[in-house]
Structure 1
Amino acid sequence: MRFRDGVFLSLLVGSFSVANGQTSGTDQTLPTVTIRGSTPERFSAGQKTQRIDSVTLEQFRFQNLTDVLTYTTPIAFKIYGTGQLATASFRGTSSNHTAVLWNGININQPTLGQTDFSTLPVAGFDQLAVQYGSSASCVGSDAVGGSILLMSNPKWKQPGFLISAGQKVASFRNYTTQVGAKFVSPAGKNSQIAGKTFFYTTDAHNDYPYRERGNYFVEQSITKQKGFIQDLYIRNRKNQQLSVNIWLTDNDLTVTPFDTTVRERTRSQSYRFLTTYETNKLTLRLGWIRDIIDYARGNFTNPSHSETDRLISRIEREFTIPVKTGRISLRVGGEWSHYRTRVDGYGDQPIQENRADLFALARLELSRWLFSANLRQAFVTRYDPPITPSVGAEYLIIKTAQSSLTAKGSIARSYRVPTLNERYWKVLGNPDIRPENGFNLEAGIAEQWRPNERFSLSTETTVFRNRIDDWSYWNPDYGYRVENLQLVVSRGLEWNGSLNYMTPRWQSGLTLGYALNRSSQERVYNVYAQDIIGKQLVYVPKHTGRFSAYVAHGKNRLTIQNQVNSRQYITFDNIQFLRGYLLTNVLLETEVKLGPVETRIQGQINNLFDTVYLNVKRNAMPGRHFSIQLICNLNTTKQ
């Protein structure tokens, strides 16, 4: 073992040797609820983080993660069609550079190194946060461009139960049904219990009344999606918490279903189980994830099959050290995962692999300063990932009762372990492909102003530069064999602002955002690629914007959502491209109460102006379409 690894291990073992020094406590009632923020957010000072509010999540509860992030963030998505594959591009990076964390566990598929966001419904989690830039020191592999944080959290301070049933009816014979229940027991002397049970199904026929729009083909597809969520939490008077989280998903997609020659069927199933034990200082996690993909073209009787199992264990210990004008938080830990996969394209024998991480995360809070310094070392079978440090800082320039101004900045190294497909796929794979490694810089300034109780204004501006070396690429010049593309540099600017005005009877607000992404290859991988140096990467729009506005009166609310994308190049020489477009959605919702049942009715118009725009396959997406949603809640929780 190398010296740097020994330092990590010594630090880890030493930290847990004192874990038993916790006091038992003698209180006869449950303590105040401890707010357990996610590790990537707490220990990433200087990085831009965006939380999606609960009102927005409720508006998108019948849609998938692609829809809500498209209208609330500058993330660019590669969409292959309605209900089809949708992958994310953070700040000009690729779909393999986005980490998706579910309750702290990376759920990217190891074979593909990415997540299909069309298979993740918004109803599958309670909280959603977006972390921009590299956070590999906190998260690990994949967090090169950014991270999506999906969290399940009980509301301990709101005892009672909530029974919910919802139905969505949309154009083109598309239907979604959701049924669930949540409960939180009253806080007793010794323990408190909370839980959630949730079922959802989607039956999308996409029965379009047209076969082309604007001289572009409209591809038909059928999607059947179903899922089950079970969360259970128990906490005691010592503030120890045990939780069990289960998320099962089944997505069955058929493209061009009525043409038996070229039709394609992809069935993706995921089984996710996670058990977590937490105290004020110690966190233990044990998880198991199985991902299954069956793919067939033409004849569906003998699909290509892939099945991957992951066993995940993690231990973390946190220390708090008071200092003169603040405190230091130190979190050290380790993670071990075992992978076992069987893929038709790999050969007859299953592939097994072990991965481990050791990390140390530090956070210093002072009256006006916030610092973080992190270090992670990964270990992978037959690989040697680089050590990944990061440092960040935030300084509160102005702090008054009405306003605040904060400057922030961070420097971070990142890495990505090649996917199993990139290493083990017969003929096209490359067992000698090198891990990607990156270097991320960002700086920003955030301002908040609230002169009175009715008016509030907030803005944030961020500039960034992300240098990624050994970018891997399935090169069409070599029969789509995978190789290291060499060097890609992404740089740009992000700005977002929000304005809210409230009176006793009316509420209104505006949200605006703009992003500039300049992402290009800066070093060639062969002598024939000189003409693509400095050209914008494919499917990365240089300019994106979003604008939303709402006005509410009592239980009634009108919302307008807009997104704008500039052209996207589809060839590396930037000669061919998809045209830019503007999309507008309108939502009108109201709420009525019939006895103990609260009923929310929402009508929605998507693509209001019937814009013709194309997906990655260069097929037209649907025109103007409509939906109506009905949600009935029987709620006894204390607000």
Structure 2
Amino acid sequence: MLIFNILPSSGSGGQCRRQVCALLALIASAGAARGQTAPPPDTLTTRRHRLPEAQVRGVRPERFAVGSPRLEVDSAVLAQYRGGTAADVLGAREGLYIKNYGPGQLATISLRGTSSQHTAVLWNGLNITLPTLGQNDLALLPISGNTQLAVQPGPAAALYGSGAVGGAILLRTDPDWRPGLRGSVQADAGSFGLHGGSLEARSASAGVAVRVAASYRHADNNYPYLLREPAGLVRYTMQNAALRHQWSFSPDLAWRVGAAGELTATVWLTDTDREIQQGTGVAGSNARELDQSHRLVLGYRRATTGGGQWSVRGAWFEDIINYSDQGAVSNSRVRTTQSQAEYTAPLGPRASLRLGLEAQHFAAVVDGYGPEPITENRAAAFALLRYDPRPALRLSANLRQAALPAGLAPLAPTVGAEWDLYQAAATDSLAATRPGLTLKASASRTYRAPTLNERYWQPGGNPDLRPESGMGYELGLRHRARLAPALALETELTAFHQLVANWVQWLPLGRAAPIRPATCARCAARASKQARRCGCAGAATGPPAGWLTASPKPRKPRA
């Protein structure tokens, strides 16, 4: 709309007539212009309009881990290790203690002074820890099968279940709904016969998102080493240490069902053939191991009209370990079926509650268990509460109760709190990235169920083993500073005290008796400023050859 102000003039009549004519011409031209740029008729009520569909985002368990530290690998960093494994990333980027026996060899983690059996490994919210060993070889977890990797140090059994005594490793493959087709190719090469690569392709439309990833790796590992002998230093070449092959294939599919539902299907197939590296003073070993894992997860989640969300997941895993050394063979195959159902409800604008149930069924055919297959069932119920009474104060209270074949596991509660002592004024929508100082605290009770090896190995298995239990307390301070518009610095200091009771160790119970799993006295781990210390009562040895072992340094037994 054009608005003109007509002012009175003191000029002659001719001048006035000329002004009036010019004004009339301008009004006429304005009317014509308005007619040319007039908007089309309103179609809001006469035509159908397709609104963009809302994405259903799952509420992750980490939301309820208030007061606990979290180490998350940046996606840009993770992309550099697409041809590597979880052991490569965590050892190089997160500063965690990885006990690595060589390239492509056994790699286990130790968190908060505990053993590798005290770290749970979850993939898309489901525990993939080997039920026979109670631990995972991180060298058998290729990064290409995942899009996110994080570590949560500290007891977290209320969130993640059995085994999360020292902490948990969280792997995830979330769908990417950005439209279009994208892909990446990566090739790796190194010394001592290392070569490999990875391939990834993604595509998404309004209702379907697809991702396919694959990787391959090979290494001869024929590196030289020096060994001191009576004649002096002698140069040797490492034998029987090759990673013959390691490949991974992971297709993922996500399908939006209506405006409030999402169906996902995720597959992760891995195959590793490797020679078991011998000690420098050991000769004649030709040990070899074939590791295969087949994992499938189907899930469905749906948002409710009241702001809540419910989800169900079902999974089938198969883990195969075939070990051989100069005619001695030890084969293992375990099939795991898992199911999980949970509902998350808002309790007003500041609180949310999650209730859930999960069940596991194991079917194991292991040479060391005898000729008959072994089956075992486990179940658990959990409740997770998050409450933010003020924007600067966050609280959580979680609880889990598991049912094991030998009875109920120890009740696992967790409470946590975070208080922002100082936080800069909001300049963006992400409060966690603003400069500030946060005080954190948590207290947890945790547990670890006995493994199938500890219960059924012959000879030595003890079906009456009690589950391990423990307590953990921690107090931390996190500081965030903005050094430049595109540069931020975050530091965190955590002091903790952790106590583990009924720690299961394989012990010889007599001169001629076989080693058996037994519970030892309490083991304590304390840390401050990233220092760790662990002591365990009782001698520690390993189960029969061919199985993974990782134990604290043995000390003199005490009552």
Q: TM-score range by the shorter chain?
A: 0.7 to 0.9
CA, structure 1 residues 81+364, in 2 after alignment: closer, same or farther (shift >3 Å)? Answer: same
| Cα distance, 1:261 vs structure 2 | 4.4
Return the match for 1:390 from 414, 419, 422. 414
- The one-letter amino acid of 1:278's match is R
Match of 1:490 in 2: 525
CA distance in 1, matches of 2:439, 2:234: 50
Counterpart of 1:140? 161
Name the aligned partner's letter for residue 222 of structure 1.
A
Q: 1:456 aligns with which of 449, 469, 488?
A: 488
**What do residues 490-540 of structure 1 show as CA deviations (whole Å, max 9, x unaligned)?**
11024xxxxxxxxxxxxxxxxxxxx2001113xx459x9xxxxxxxxx977
Distance in 2 (alpha carbons) for counterparts of 1:177 and 1:451: 37
Cα separation, 2, equivalents of 1:449 and 1:88: 31
Q: Which residue among 131, 136, 157 is the counterpart of 1:115?
A: 136
Structure 1 residue aligned with 2:63: 42
Letter matched to residue 341 of structure 2: I
Residue 28 of structure 1: how far off its partner (Å):
4.0
Q: Secondary structure at the match of 2:395?
A: strand
Q: Residue 88 of structure 1: CA displacement? A: 0.8
C-alpha change, 1:396 and 1:451, in structure 2 (3 Å) is same
> 1:616 aligns to what?
none
Change (3 A) 1:462 1:210: closer
Which residue identity is paired with 1:377? Q
SS in 1 for 2:454: helix
For 1:351, which of 374, 377, 381 is the aligned residue?
374
State the partner residue of 1:61.
82
Q: CA deviation at 1:80?
A: 2.2
> How far 1:431 sits from its partner (Å)?
1.7
1:546-557 counterparts in 2 under 5 A?
Answer: none
Determine which of 182, 197, 202 is the counterpart of 2:202: 182
Aligned partners of 1:334 and 1:358 also within 8 Å: yes
Tell me the distance in 2 between the aligned counterparts of 1:454 and 1:445.
Answer: 24
The answer on 1:197 being equivalent to 2:225 is: no
Q: Aligned with 1:303: secondary structure?
A: strand
Conserved? CA contact 1:390–1:410, under 8 Å: yes
**What is the root-mean-square deviation in Å for CA atoms of aligned residues?**
2.5
> CA 1:197/1:77 → structure 2, altered by over 3 Å: closer, same or farther?
same
| Corresponding position: 1:222 with 2:242 | yes
Of structures 1 and 2, the one with the larger relative CO (CA 8 A, separation 6+) is: 1
Identify if the C-alpha distance between structure 1 residues 216 and 516 changes in structure 2 by more than 3 Å, giving closer, same or farther. Answer: farther
Aligned to 1:420: 452
Distance in structure 2 (CA, Å) of the matches to 1:285 and 1:349: 30
Match of residue 362 from structure 2: 339
- Cα separation, 1, equivalents of 2:236 and 2:116: 26
Q: Which moved more, 1:288-297 or 1:196-205?
A: 196-205
Whether the 8 Å CA contact 2:86–2:141 is kept in 1: the answer is yes
Could you say if the C-alpha distance between residues 27 and 69 of structure 1 is closer, same or farther in structure 2, counting changes exceeding 3 Å?
A: farther
Q: Equivalents in 1 of 2:65, 2:289: separation in Å?
A: 37
Amino acid across the alignment from 2:528: L
Q: Residues 136-535 of structure 1: matches in 2 within 5 Å?
A: 136-156=157-177, 158-185=178-205, 187=206, 192-210=207-225, 219-220=238-239, 221-223=241-243, 224-255=245-276, 261-280=284-303, 281-299=309-327, 303-322=329-348, 326-365=349-388, 366-401=390-425, 403-450=435-482, 452-475=484-507, 478=510, 479-494=514-529, 515-521=530-536, 524-525=537-538
Q: Displacement of 1:408 after TM fit? A: 0.8
C-alpha deviation, 1:222, in angstroms:
1.3
TM-score by length of structure 2 reads 0.80
SS in 1 for 2:83: coil
Q: Deviations over 1:100-142 (max 9, x none)?
A: 0000011010000000000111222001111110110011100
Question: Does the 8 A contact of 2:299 with 2:314 survive in 1?
Answer: yes
Give the SS at the match of 1:450: strand
Contiguous gaps of at least 5 residues in structure 1: 1-25, 495-514, 529-537, 541-569, 574-639
Tell me the distance in 2 between the aligned counterparts of 1:215 and 1:397: 61
Tell me the distance in 1 between the aligned counterparts of 2:49 and 2:400: 38
CA displacement, residues 375-415 of structure 1 (integer Å, 9 cap, x when unaligned): 11101122321111111111111121362111111011000
User: Hey, what's the Cα distance between the residues in 2 that align with 1:74 and 1:477?
Assistant: 38
Residue identity opposite 1:29 in structure 2 = L
Distance 1:203 1:425 in 2: 33
SS at match of 1:137: helix
User: What is the distance in 1 between the residues matched to 2:418 and 2:168?
Assistant: 20
Using the TM superposition, give the Cα deviation of residue 149 of structure 1 relative to its aligned residue in structure 2, in angstroms: 0.5
What does residue 36 of structure 2 align with? Answer: none
Q: State the Cα distance separating 1:211 from its structure 2 match.
A: 6.1
Distance (Å, rounded) in 1 between the aligned partners of 2:97 and 2:236: 23
Aligned residues: 475
Q: Give the AA of the match of 2:164.
A: A
2:21 corresponds to:
none
Matched, 1:94 2:107: no
Alignment partners' CA distance in 1, 2:82 and 2:226: 29
- Unmatched 5+ residue regions in structure 2? 1-47, 304-308, 426-433, 541-549
Aligned to 1:33: 55
Residues 525, 210 of structure 1: alpha-carbon distance in 2 compared, 3 angstrom cutoff: closer
Q: Distance in 2 between matches of 1:260 and 1:59?
A: 37
Secondary structure of 2:242 counterpart: strand
Higher strand share: 1
Q: State the AA in 2 paired with 1:73.
A: E
How far did residue 337 of structure 1 move? 1.2
Larger radius of gyration: 2
Q: Deviations over 1:224-281 (max 9, x none)?
A: 1112101000114423110000001111111369x99421011111110000101130
Compute the displacement of 1:167 (Å). 1.8
* Contact in 2 for aligned 1:126/1:152 (Cα 8 Å): yes
| Aligned partners of 1:29 and 1:237 also within 8 Å | no
1:81 aligns with 2:102: yes
Percent sequence identity is 38
AA of the residue aligned to 1:199: A
Change beyond 3 A, Cα 1:218–1:151: farther
**Letter of the 1:47 counterpart:** S
SS state at 2:408 partner: coil
TM-aligned CA deviation for residue 150 of structure 1: 0.4
The CA distance in 2 between the partners of 1:256 and 1:360, in whole Å, is: 45
| Larger deviation, residues 216-225 vs 90-99 | 216-225
Quick one: structure 1 residues 207 and 261, their matched pair in 2 at CA, closer, same or farther if it must change by over 3 Å?
closer
